[in-house]
Amino acid sequence: MNLAPPLLARYAESLFWMARYLERVENLARLIEVTYIFESPGRESESWYALVRINADEESFSRRHGVADPDAIKRFYLIEADNPTSIPAAIEVARTNARVLRPLISTEMWKQLNQFHHALTAIAPAELEGDALSRLADRIRAGVQAQTGITEGTFFRDQSWHFLELGRLIERADQTTRLLDIKFHLLVPRAREEWRLVELTQWGSVLRAAAGYHAFRRIAPVEFAPADVVAFLLTDASFPRSVRLCLDEIERHLTALRIRYGLGGTRAALERAEEMRALIAGAETERLSAGGLHAFLDNLQHALIGLAGEIGTAFFRDWRPFAPEREQGFQEQRQEQAG
């Protein structure tokens, strides 16, 4: 049988971004559901505004809505399609890329994504009220998971599969760092008597937002500390949404592209992924939890931008080079760790 032809750059790019935006939809739906279930009485605005901060939307949201009102934040992410970080906008981008990929993706993938797109661009304001919001978030998560399952069962495993997975994994790692970055400083208990409430509610909400609560409880000590949660989400080699596992899988896909398909452009991306993995492996989570976690996570986020940039520059048609100044914090962190 003839070998599959080389993958066009525009297909590789569309696969990468389709996967990233679908992952973004699921992550945001999960955050919305967890925020609704675990919002702190009397601190509802603060709880919901964390979503705005996770997505770095402070300026955009303020320009549109001014005050951090929970209802306005729900509309901002679930209904306002002209907000580029909303769920309707994300599914629109995913579908646009899928249309480019019609010669590659299965009929089942295209059909499911079309139906899902229709549902997410027709969300009614009433679905944002009360328990209807939780049901809506659950349907959104289930829709992405259905798409993931259909893709797993029908998509051909050639070069295109690796670019799809690279997009999904980079987005997943980025979202995990953002979740930790915004939530952590709000949740560290200030006094021992606050511990049980924090343990049972807010720290549980962080783990649930990362789909990691049950996995964490399988391995965590009964009296776990905040540093245990940080270590789990950053360094656990078995949890699918940990930054460590995402980087391991990214390296695996890049290596397959290099060895199996002879794509030499993976070298720079592989070096960067290896550097990030070494940085995480050497992280002292107890020290970071006491102070410095924000800087560490910020460096990881910039490094992930750089990793995506290395892949895009090597293989896509029109990738904007990442800004050199974004590298500075990551390089400083590596030098500090080495010292």
pLDDT in tens, 209-230: 888 989 998 998 777 777 888 8
Q: How confident is the model at residue 330 (pLDDT cuts 50, 70, 90)?
A: very low
Which own/partner contact pairs does 106-111 have at CB distance under 8 Å and 24+ positions apart? 106/150, 106/151, 106/154, 106/155, 108/150, 108/154, 109/147, 109/150, 109/151, 109/154, 109/155
pTM of the model: 0.88
Mean pLDDT of 291-295: 80
- Angle at Cα 260 formed by Cα 257 and Cα 265, nearest 5°? 35
Instruction: Return the half-sphere exposure (C-beta side, CA atoms, 13 A cut-off) of residue 204.
Output: 13
The pLDDT, as a whole number, for residue 322 is: 46
pLDDT above 60 for 192: no
Provide the pLDDT for residue 276: 93
Total residues found in the chain within this entry: 339
Distance (Å, whole) CA 154 – CA 157 = 9
**DSSP secondary structure string, 100-134?**
HTTTTS-HHHHHHHHHHHHHHTT--GGGGSTHHHH
In Å, what is the CA distance from 253 to each residue of 35, 76, 237? 34, 35, 16
- On whether the CB atoms of residues 59 and 50 are closer than 8 A, the answer is no
What's the pLDDT score for residue 171? 96
Q: How confident is the model at residue 333 (pLDDT cuts 50, 70, 90)?
A: very low
User: Would you say residue 319 has pLDDT above 80?
Assistant: no
pLDDT of residue 281: 85
- Among 240, 88, 97, which residue's Cα sits nearest to residue 163? 97
CB contact at 8 A, 319 and 295 = no
Q: How far is CA 43 from the centre of its chain?
A: 25
Assigned token pair, 155: 């998509």
Average pLDDT along the chain: 86
What torsion, rounded to 10 degrees, do the Cα atoms 301, 303, 308, 311 define?
Answer: -170
Is the predicted pLDDT of residue 328 greater than 90, yes or no?
A: no
- Alpha-carbon distance of 279 to 269, in angstroms, equals 15
With tokens 């199996």, the residue in question is 260
Give me the pLDDT at residue 324, please: 41
**Residues 32, 208: Cα–Cα separation, whole Å:** 11
How distant, in Å, are the alpha carbons of 10, 95, 119, 291 from that of 108?
22, 14, 17, 48
163: nearest Cα among 274, 314, 300, 299: 314
Average pLDDT over residues 232-250: 95
Residue 21: enclosing H or E segment and its boundaries?
A: helix 9-38
Query: Residue 13 to residues 95, 253, 298: CA-CA distances in angstroms?
Result: 14, 15, 25
Region 273-293 average pLDDT: 80
Q: Is pLDDT of 325 > 80?
A: no
325 vs 281 pLDDT, higher one? 281
Between 206 and 270, the more confident residue is 270
Amino acid 259 reads I
Distance between CA atoms of residues 126 and 133, nearest Å = 9
